[in-house]
Amino acid sequence: MARDTVPVLKRCRALGLDPIFMGIDKKSKKEVKRSNKKMSEYGLQLREKQKAKFVYGVLEKPFRNYFRKAKKMSGNTTGENLLILLELRLDNTMYRLGYGRTRKEARQIVGHKHVLVNGRLVNVASFQLKVGDKIEIKEKYKGMQRYKDILESTGGKLTPAWVTADHENLSGTVVELPSRSQIDLPVDEMLIVELYSK
């Protein structure tokens, strides 16, 4: 399985991304050496795509598939649909609920078979959630120290309005589709659409 092994802070520096969007409170001590050369239009579009892929931990082929799906969806613009699909991944929703300090940790929890969706075990991080889906940690893992530590560090984090979290029972529900204003991602999705539309 392909994995991104580049250190997170180094990648954040290169993409001009605040590590807080990755669920990391650290700041890099190194300064980014920016050249005075103006970035081309293609360079800007590519950087926005790389940012989105990096934040959600999605590789190129699945990301392209999400874009194709987003194009077929109705209701919003293709760019908004793309972000909605990425937000509704199981690993991201676990992170949004506060049951993972980072999306990588949330993905690991899903992979270790700790998560139930509507009462059924799901261990696929990219599982696509729908409105009304209930996510919870398996009963036998609820008492683990790991989850107490996670809740302690994510307790102050705001849960977005499109999900409701019940920290007592380590569960949550998708109550509505996320809107663009609820997705706190510093990405210009229109540039991604332009890149793939070429």
User: Each residue of 70-91: pLDDT tens digit?
Assistant: 999 988 899 999 999 999 999 9
According to the model, what pLDDT value does residue 46 have? 92
Residue 1's pLDDT is 46
Contacts of 115 (CB under 8 A, 6+ apart): 90, 94, 109, 121, 122, 123, 135, 136, 137, 138
Predicted TM-score (pTM) of this structure: 0.85
Query: What are 134-174's pLDDT values in tens digits?
Result: 999 999 999 999 999 999 988 767 889 999 999 999 999 99
Q: Which domains does the chain have, with CATH numbers?
A: 8-27+39-86+185-196 (1.10.1050.10), 90-176 (3.10.290.10)
pLDDT tens readout for residues 23-49: 666 655 555 455 557 888 999 999 999
pLDDT at 75: 82
Residue 158: what pLDDT?
A: 81
